[in-house]
Structure 1
Amino acid sequence: MLTAAAVAVAIAVVSLASWLLVRERLYQELHDTLSAAPRSPVAPPDRGQLHCGATPAEALANVPPGGSGRLGPQKYDFQYVLPDGTICLTGDATRAIQVAPGDSAPLPRNTTVYRTGHYVDSDEHAQVRRTNSAVLLPNGILQPAVLLTALPTQGVQNSLSSLALLMTGVAGLGVLGAGVAGQVVARSALKPVDQLTGAVEHIARTEEVGTTIPVNGSDEIARLSTSFNSMSTALANSRERQTRLIADAGHELRTPLTSLRTNVDLLIRSDAQGRALPPETRARMLGNMKAQMQELTVLIGDLLQLSRPDTPNPEAVRTVVPFHETVERALERGRLRGPALTFVTEVNPWYVHGDPAALERAVINLLDNAVKYSPPSGTVEVRLRAGRLTVRDHGPGIPAEELPFVFDRFWRSPSSRQLPGSGLGLSIVAQTVRDTGGQVSLGPAADGGPGTQAVMVLPGQPDDPR
């Protein structure tokens, strides 16, 4: 409809301009033809060739049937207007021109005036030329007069009407053709939008994210389709990660909950049957229950930490953090968890922008891994130089084929699944470092010796920017 409307406006403007140009040209030709008319159709010696009356109708009535035989040019109509308002016609006149006010007044010398007019007792219009002239009346008196020379405009008006009708028909066909062509082009151009709409409606109806549509070309519609496919794929990946996280969390929660339920059932059964458990057994069971509760608490805290979006939150509280102090506090807790280990440290000042609690938790997780996998009486090396934190243990190390999965949620090496932990520690480290704008990696020791080295690089500066 918009295409048809635009074409209609364009055709209307062009047609109107063309019609006005043709009209101007036709009237100009009529004007030129009228300018070539004779200025004295009846010579003064020709007596008896004029038929006069007080009005154009009366003068026309005085013209004898068949004329006088003295015919001027057939295409012109001549009419004299005397100073007293008397109208005189030539002997071959067949129609008279309606006199306008001022037609009897003589014109300045060598002056010609053009005007529009119409014929007496007729609706037909004419183009009229006024010039000074003189006539010899039947009484022999030479009388000055104004000569009116007229040409009918009926032919011009008929041509203009036919042209207007033709242009209207052509315009109507053009608008109709433009509307049909616009509809065909619009349907063809918007077909990807229809496919996109269908895909969106399918997802809204079935909630099956991951649906994509074919992309053709490189225009805006293709870009929109590509963006939709990317969004749909991202939603599918997000749902898959969510489903996997729920399944893994349920699996990890099942073990301590099952153990807790077993111990609680055993305690309840012993009390119900009046068969008290030995104090050592009861104390051991309560200790196990406390450890399982602590494991549940840590697991739930890790899950809450990982429930945050994968992308950094611009509204999160980010302050200037003295990272070296964070590493020192984490080392104090690490020494408590591995009292038999030796810690070799080198911590230089470094300030970063981030979440203090999250950064401390990330460093503690790295130290926990180092303590967990270090041999008895082993050494843990911790160094912070220019924003590069390295934590190295001297344990068995990580096989190369397992390195790509160490930062995945709930992933644990088959050789370490008997050790405590939920498999979320390194995932929390990766997320915290990503939120801070840094990088983290885990691999073999840089010197080629035994053990594993974790490297955390955070952007910052050695001086306090505050």
Structure 2
Amino acid sequence: MPRRGRLTTWYRARSLRSRLTFLTTAAVAVAIAASALACWFIVEQRMYSVVRSDLEDVRGPLPRPNLKDCAATPQAALKNVQTSPQLPPTNISAPRDTQFVVIVGQSSLVCLPPMATRAMVLDPGDVRALDLDPNHFLIRDGHYTNGDPAMIRISGARLDTGQPTLVMVAAPTKAVDESLRQLAFVLGGVALGGIILAAVAGRLVARSALKPVDQLTDAVEHIARTEEVGTTIAVQGDDEIARLSTSFNSMSTALANSRERQTRLIADAGHELRTPLTSLRTNVDLLIRSDDTGRPLPPATRTKLLGNMKAQMQELTVLIGDLLQLSRPDSPKPVRTLSVVALHEIAERAVERAKLRGPALVFETSTAPWFVHADAAGLERAVINLLDNAVKYSPPGGTIAVRLDGGVLTVRDHGPGIPQDELPYVFDRFWRSPSSRQLPGSGLGLSIVAQTVREAGGEVSLGPAQDGGPGALATVRLPGGPSPE
């Protein structure tokens, strides 16, 4: 496996805290290394620039060598310098500890200044300085014959005899190199210490920053272990971790509410199913017992009993259909399941069905064209539920007014109306007014209406009639338009 692949595998196998520490340490290490290198190069450039500037500032007349005492090589010149000074004293200005060498003529005679203890190593390219103007010179890095480093200035000149001469002025750089070496050790130590401190600080920062994540992990593991939804964690600040914690608390609360609604739905469904099932079982037991005892029921009684059983089966069928309708999520359906629906046609069909259920009632209908995006079957069932509710509570010979205008559908009956303290509960599942418990129904019709209208992006309300008369007024508002486009 390539080295990069092994590093990636190792990195991914670490915990989030370790990865955060590693990244923090790596970032600080790169920053410190870059700063240390930049500092070292800046100091190096500055120190060598000072030495170079000193060499460039050398001024004064050239020394006049005594040619007969000059040697052929720097080493030979050094042997003679103690007994026979090669260059007379001069008032030339030069940096402290600067060494002069004068090379005279084509024989490369080397003349050293008085009390010289070392000479520069010559380079074949130094003769280029003979072609330069008197005020121009070359500067290069070199070293003395004893191995010490130096920066050398080379210029060309001519003696009174007309002989071409190279004048070499050297400034030692050993002290500069030693200073730079010490600086490198200091910067390296500082960088290493900074990296270690960065690793420690990164570990502490990672532990502190990931503490809310640890709490979140503990809460999730607690929920997974105990299935106790609704557990929340403390939220501090408004950063990303706080937003994550808030989202988790919202999710946990939503799950708890969903489970509570599910539990309540099952309990209410069981309660609603118990009554018709008990009645059915009683009637079936009565029929079986009459057959077993050989004492059949009178035909009229048997017919009435079977009719009751059929009605109870129909009630069960309606109740189960309502439960299936409400078992869907409360969130809106995807757009692809919706279609353009003619609300006025649905209202007209629902009125025709309501007339069959309330033949003694008077229906006043006024519908204007209105098209909406909705589930056609669900929306038709919702409108039918509204009309069934109006039929159920309307007195014999009463009037039910159905109006559709500008996307607002209203159903107005003239029944007993709804008490003010019961209005907040009319759309709750299985809720039924205490005054209407004796009437047929499961308490799911208006819940289905509310859910269907919400899925279509509309609003529904139920309250007392606005004209001050008896009865209730149901209002449904759905977005759409008077044409299907």
For normalisation by structure 1, the TM-score amounts to 0.90
Unaligned regions of 5+ residues in structure 1, if any? Answer: none
Residue 423 of structure 2 is aligned to residue 399 of structure 1: no
Which whole-Å deviations, capped at 9, do the CAs of 1:322-358 have from their partners, x for residues lacking one? 2222122111211111122222333333332222222
Which whole-Å deviations, capped at 9, do the CAs of 1:395-421 have from their partners, x for residues lacking one? 222211111101000111112111111
| Cα shift at 1:285 | 1.7
Alignment of 1:268-307 (within 5 A): 268-307=288-327
Of 123-132 and 295-304, deviating more is: 123-132
Residue 36 of structure 2 is aligned to residue 15 of structure 1: yes
In the other structure, the counterpart of 1:60 is 78
Task: State the secondary structure of the residue aligned to 1:52.
Answer: coil
Of 6-15 and 354-363, deviating more is: 6-15
In the other structure, the counterpart of 1:153 is 173
In the other structure, the counterpart of 2:117 is 94
Of 446-455 and 401-410, deviating more is: 446-455
Is 1:433–1:439's contact at 8 Å kept on the other side of the alignment? yes
| Cα shift at 1:42 | 4.4
In the other structure, the counterpart of 1:117 is 142
Percentage of identical aligned residues: 62
Residue 248 of structure 2 is aligned to residue 228 of structure 1: yes
Distance of 2:444 and 2:84 partners within structure 1: 122
Residue 479 of structure 2 is aligned to residue 456 of structure 1: no
Is 2:341–2:376's contact at 8 Å kept on the other side of the alignment? yes
In the other structure, the counterpart of 2:102 is 80
Tell me which of 222, 229, 234 is aligned to 1:209: 229
Task: State the secondary structure of the residue aligned to 1:132.
Answer: strand
Distance of 1:387 and 1:144 partners within structure 2: 111
Task: State the secondary structure of the residue aligned to 1:269.
Answer: helix
Distance of 2:62 and 2:368 partners within structure 1: 121
Unaligned regions of 5+ residues in structure 2, if any? Answer: 1-21
Distance 1:31 1:305, change over 3 A: same
Distance 1:383 1:113, change over 3 A: closer
Distance 1:326 1:90, change over 3 A: closer
Distance of 1:47 and 1:307 partners within structure 2: 117
Distance 1:40 1:93, change over 3 A: farther
Task: State the secondary structure of the residue aligned to 2:71.
Answer: strand
Distance 1:177 1:400, change over 3 A: same
- Structure 2: which amino acid aligns with 1:29? V
For normalisation by structure 2, the TM-score amounts to 0.86
Residue 52 of structure 2 is aligned to residue 31 of structure 1: yes
Which whole-Å deviations, capped at 9, do the CAs of 1:399-452 have from their partners, x for residues lacking one? 111111010001111121111111100001111111222221111122222222
Distance 1:391 1:117, change over 3 A: same
In the other structure, the counterpart of 2:12 is none
In the other structure, the counterpart of 2:18 is none
Which whole-Å deviations, capped at 9, do the CAs of 1:164-201 have from their partners, x for residues lacking one? 11122222222333333333334333332332232222
Which whole-Å deviations, capped at 9, do the CAs of 1:219-250 have from their partners, x for residues lacking one? 22222222222222111111111111111111
Distance of 2:477 and 2:113 partners within structure 1: 115
Is 2:63–2:87's contact at 8 Å kept on the other side of the alignment? no
Distance of 2:355 and 2:214 partners within structure 1: 64
Which whole-Å deviations, capped at 9, do the CAs of 1:245-277 have from their partners, x for residues lacking one? 111111111111122222222222332333322
Which whole-Å deviations, capped at 9, do the CAs of 1:38-92 have from their partners, x for residues lacking one? 6667435x687x4413x32233334447978967787122223232233333442
Is 1:407–1:430's contact at 8 Å kept on the other side of the alignment? yes
Tell me which of 357, 367, 370 is aligned to 1:337: 357
Distance 1:22 1:56, change over 3 A: same
- Structure 2: which amino acid aligns with 1:115? R
Is 1:341–1:379's contact at 8 Å kept on the other side of the alignment? yes
In the other structure, the counterpart of 2:216 is 196
Distance of 2:97 and 2:405 partners within structure 1: 111
Of 127-136 and 402-411, deviating more is: 127-136
Task: State the secondary structure of the residue aligned to 1:333.
Answer: helix
Distance of 1:109 and 1:349 partners within structure 2: 104
Task: State the secondary structure of the residue aligned to 1:450.
Answer: coil
Of 32-41 and 216-225, deviating more is: 32-41
- Structure 2: which amino acid aligns with 1:58? A
Distance 1:250 1:127, change over 3 A: same
Distance of 1:430 and 1:306 partners within structure 2: 10
Distance of 1:47 and 1:340 partners within structure 2: 146
